Structure 1
Amino acid sequence: MSTRDGAITALVQFDTSSTSMKAILRELQTTSTDSPEFLIKTHFLPLSVIKRRNTIDYLLIRTLDLKNILDLDIRERNTLRLLLYETKWLGLRLNHALSIYPQIKPNHVKAIKHAIETDLDSAVENLATVNKLSLKFSHPTFLVKTLLDNLPLDETIQLLKKNNENRTYYVRLNRLLCTDSSILDSFENVKLMKEDNFDGLFRVIEGIETIIASKLFQEGYLLIQDKASILAVEALDPQSNQIIWDSCAAPGMKTQLITEKLKGTGKIIATDVYRDRVVGARNRSFNLGASQIEWVQSDSTNPTILDADKILIDAPCTSTGILQSYPSFKWRLNKDTLFSLMTIQHKLLDGIINRYAQRPGTEIVFSTCSILPHEGESQIDSILTKHRIELLDPILPNATGYKGFKCSTKVTRLLPHRHDTSGFFIARLRIMH
């Protein structure tokens, strides 16, 4: 299968499924005998098309004079999406492209040429601001409107642009297996920058592919974890001899870091509602040297762990904070999905706080990998009206929440364009008498 055939196959599967593009590509990879280099190229193309899909579709509808992109046959529309991306965004010459895509119809060739020549800024100039930004920066209108409601226009544009760039990778030493950072000296063609105030954490300037392919990474001595995710554990601040409950723990990266911080003391209980995720996380933890973790299948909306000193609720969410890596999440987002996740988040907070109401002093960290206030500030404001809890000082005082909420100045809101991390929300709570 050629690179482009593989990309088109992935795009067709995305159109006919409800899973993410990354999941589709992983599934295709498991059945492939192609080289890693070939697979990287095959993955790059469909992910890039998905990242810009509404913009590509707008240009195709406009130049083909269609009412809806679905008027085209499924393989035909995805072939045209890929062709337009390669020619307009990657600069592939149309004549050369047509030798690679010989099946393109003559009227479609004319439309593609017109789309390449179309100045997008001029084409969307007279549209409403939300629609204009949606098409210029390839995000759904709901997400654009939400950001405009909570950020100034210039910052909204910065964030939309940043979401279309490659993510920043961070690697950290697995202190359960290795304490000597000199192991990083063995890498060639890798450039790292140490992150201040984070023990054993490095920003990857170049060479992430080399790191992923290395024995150190494959055997768990090095871990890839975003700085925002690490900050959620820093906010929890696990101390020696404490009982820690990670209530939505799988796949277990934060749980592993908590284990490091306990330094062989205390107790850590990790729960997840799905058995397969618990089994996978338990096996992964064992391989990473975190055998201290007690993994339990449990629904944390109805808590059975009742003696924790500190609790991490890293709640299921829309994952809109990781659109750089998972661009398909923005096209899977809809109101039903959002409201369903908000309900789960509220049940987690409400259920755990209710069960711990008689244990004043218990500290809770609530976090979501989301840039939506619905999954952050709104949830905390709602809980504050129902329960005797107090907000502790935010982990980063200069990264507070969206304005206009009761909790705004007492929570942490990380954004890719400001902090070079995933989009993340973190709140520190304490049960009161």
Structure 2
Amino acid sequence: MNQARTGESKKAKSGAAPRAAAAYALQQVLQHQRSLNQALPEAVAKFKLDASDKGLAQAVAFGVLRELPSLEWYVSQLLDKPLKSKVRIVHYLMLVGLYQLSAMRTASHAAVSASVEATVLVRQKALKGLVNAVLRGFQRQQHNLETQLAQQADKRYNHPGWLLKHLQTGYPEHWQSIVEANQHQPPMWLRVNQRYLNQQRMQLSDYQAQLSALGIESEAAVGLPQALRLKQACDVTALPGFADGAVSVQDAAAQYAAQLVPAQSGQRVLDACAAPGGKTAHLLELYDIEVDALDIEQTRLARVSENLARLHLSARIIHADASTQDWWDGALYDHILLDAPCSATGVIRRHPDIKWLRQAADIANLVTLQQQIFSNMWQLLKPGGTLIYATCSVLPHENALQVVAFLEQHTDAELIPCEGPDMAHIVAPELGAGTANTPTAMPPNTQIGLQWLPQIDGHDGFYYAVLRKAVN
């Protein structure tokens, strides 16, 4: 009997650790304003999670951040008063348990027992009874609570009010589709290395066949020659030739950047705000050119170097501020790709913490920074050269309206029309083919440039504008 009890205890603890890790990561994000990309690896190490437990902790943390207002409302209905800051970790543990009960296929008894047991791992054993009472209370009242929640618009959309207002104003006919897409886990997109294909005398379909032989099914995207969407995400180590640089992970919308650069052999191209290096690598895979990769964050530049090394590519790595010219050698660039710092509201589905880390006041500050970098980059461009302005935002103030303001201030800039690839075959049926990736289907303020909105099972939200500098 003692052996049986010991086995049960170990089993309970093995289920508790990923819940404790998820709660810890959530506390770091929501209480200490750290990004989930920073908090989650720290939590995994702190609670010594194995691969499967890491996956569970990640799924739960991401899910809670997607559904946060709803879950917080449940807690407010089930708890008499908020917990004090010194035991706040237990509040996040309650969110973890409630998310499992309301949105995951976790067996209810396992969700409750493991979440309760996790109080021990976060050193709050005295509150086991409280966590149990809240989760059991939700089980008893779930239907009634969910019915009440559905009647509260400010909670059921699970987005901060300021962001909803921006989306409703900018996209009166599409904002609900954006919100819905943000609540879904994104698909995994691959960018197959064109140099690798050429060296192996392969077509994209040949690489697809290699994937299929391993049970990894994929779909090509019309208009994006190197893009494949996996029907089910997998570990990158399972991808044929990944270690040798055959393929990279990059969303379809981001893959369009390199195609917009009209580079010719031997030309000099600047990738501004380049980290983590996906666009830098794609440029080098497509063109025989010299690329300078510039970024202000030293730690993220290390990832650029790592990615280029795996792909057997080289670029000049520059650690500097794109709004200054202290780093510049004085030689003008043939083309500049500016992936400007932005709100990242087009990739919320990949980074749900953005909804809670970003504030309304940040947008004006970002717009000002974008203006500074935009104007500075223009000075580094050759007459006759092109600058591609890009963001992973869906907010018009950072995108179309930013470009309009730039054109008004720079008489030597000409907007070059650009049309997106035909992505209709990957648009979810309920959204309608072509609603978000063709300018003619978008509101008037997105006619300037190309605005993609996030698509369920499709691409992220992204914006592009191509400008040509007049020849004197």
Q: TM-score, normalised by structure 1?
A: 0.87
Question: Are 1:400 and 2:439 matched, yes or no?
Answer: yes
Instruction: Give the equivalent residue in structure 2 for 1:25.
Output: 40
Q: How does 1:63-78 map to 2 (within 5 A)?
A: 63-64=78-79, 66=81, 73-78=87-92
Question: Are 1:99 and 2:113 matched, yes or no?
Answer: yes
**CA offsets 1:26-61 (integer angstroms, 9 cap, x no match):** 233456654322211121111111111111102221
Instruction: Give the equivalent residue in structure 1 for 2:186.
Output: 167
Question: 1:96: Cα distance to partner?
Answer: 5.2
- Judge conservation of contact 2:191–2:255 (CA < 8 Å) in 1: no
The one-letter amino acid paired with 1:89 is: A
**CA offsets 1:291-330 (integer angstroms, 9 cap, x no match):** 2x22222322123254111111001112111111111111
- Judge conservation of contact 1:176–1:288 (CA < 8 Å) in 2: no
Instruction: Give the equivalent residue in structure 2 for 1:327.
Output: 352
Stretch moving more, 31-40 or 92-101: 92-101
Question: 1:92: Cα distance to partner?
Answer: 4.9
Q: How does 1:138-149 map to 2 (within 5 A)?
A: 138-149=158-169
SS in 2 for 1:322: coil
Question: Are 1:13 and 2:28 matched, yes or no?
Answer: yes
Question: 1:260: Cα distance to partner?
Answer: 1.7
SS in 2 for 1:299: coil
- Judge conservation of contact 2:64–2:95 (CA < 8 Å) in 1: yes
- Judge conservation of contact 1:61–1:69 (CA < 8 Å) in 2: no
- In 2, the alpha carbon distance for the partners of 1:426 and 1:352 equals 16
User: Which of 59, 72, 80 in structure 1 is aligned with 2:94?
Assistant: 80
Q: How does 1:302-317 map to 2 (within 5 A)?
A: 302-303=324-325, 304=328, 306-317=331-342
**CA offsets 1:74-128 (integer angstroms, 9 cap, x no match):** 1221121112111122255655544334414275356424652235454453x5x
User: Which of 198, 202, 207 in structure 1 is aligned with 2:228?
Assistant: 202
Instruction: Give the equivalent residue in structure 2 for 1:343.
Output: 368
Instruction: Give the equivalent residue in structure 2 for 1:255.
Output: 280
Unaligned 5+ runs, structure 1? none
Instruction: Give the equivalent residue in structure 1 for 2:458.
Output: 420
Instruction: Give the equivalent residue in structure 1 for 2:176.
Output: 157
- Judge conservation of contact 1:371–1:415 (CA < 8 Å) in 2: yes
Stretch moving more, 317-326 or 279-288: 279-288
The one-letter amino acid paired with 1:374 is: H
Instruction: Give the equivalent residue in structure 2 for 1:376.
Output: 399
Instruction: Give the equivalent residue in structure 2 for 1:244.
Output: 269
- In 1, the alpha carbon distance for the partners of 2:71 and 2:355 equals 15
- In 2, the alpha carbon distance for the partners of 1:101 and 1:295 equals 46
Stretch moving more, 227-236 or 168-177: 168-177
The one-letter amino acid paired with 2:295 is: D
Q: How does 1:380-391 map to 2 (within 5 A)?
A: 380-388=403-411, 389-391=413-415
Instruction: Give the equivalent residue in structure 1 for 2:209.
Output: 185
Question: 1:150: Cα distance to partner?
Answer: 1.7
Q: Tell me: CA distance 1:75–1:346, structure 2 relative to 1, closer, same or farther (3 Å).
A: same
- Judge conservation of contact 2:453–2:461 (CA < 8 Å) in 1: yes
Question: 1:267: Cα distance to partner?
Answer: 2.0
- In 2, the alpha carbon distance for the partners of 1:297 and 1:96 equals 49
- Judge conservation of contact 2:418–2:466 (CA < 8 Å) in 1: yes
Q: Tell me: CA distance 1:115–1:392, structure 2 relative to 1, closer, same or farther (3 Å).
A: farther
User: Which of 298, 301, 304 in structure 1 is aligned with 2:323?
Assistant: 301
**CA offsets 1:256-288 (integer angstroms, 9 cap, x no match):** 1111221x3x32222122333334423431331
SS in 1 for 2:224: coil
- In 2, the alpha carbon distance for the partners of 1:419 and 1:14 equals 27
Q: Tell me: CA distance 1:122–1:360, structure 2 relative to 1, closer, same or farther (3 Å).
A: same
Instruction: Give the equivalent residue in structure 2 for 1:53.
Output: 68
Q: TM-score, normalised by structure 2?
A: 0.80
The one-letter amino acid paired with 2:454 is: P
Q: How does 1:207-218 map to 2 (within 5 A)?
A: 208-214=233-239, 216-218=241-243
Question: 1:168: Cα distance to partner?
Answer: 1.9
Instruction: Give the equivalent residue in structure 2 for 1:36.
Output: 51
- In 2, the alpha carbon distance for the partners of 1:18 and 1:175 equals 40
What is the alpha-carbon root mean square deviation over aligned residues?
A: 2.7
- Judge conservation of contact 2:69–2:159 (CA < 8 Å) in 1: yes
- In 1, the alpha carbon distance for the partners of 2:99 and 2:457 equals 29
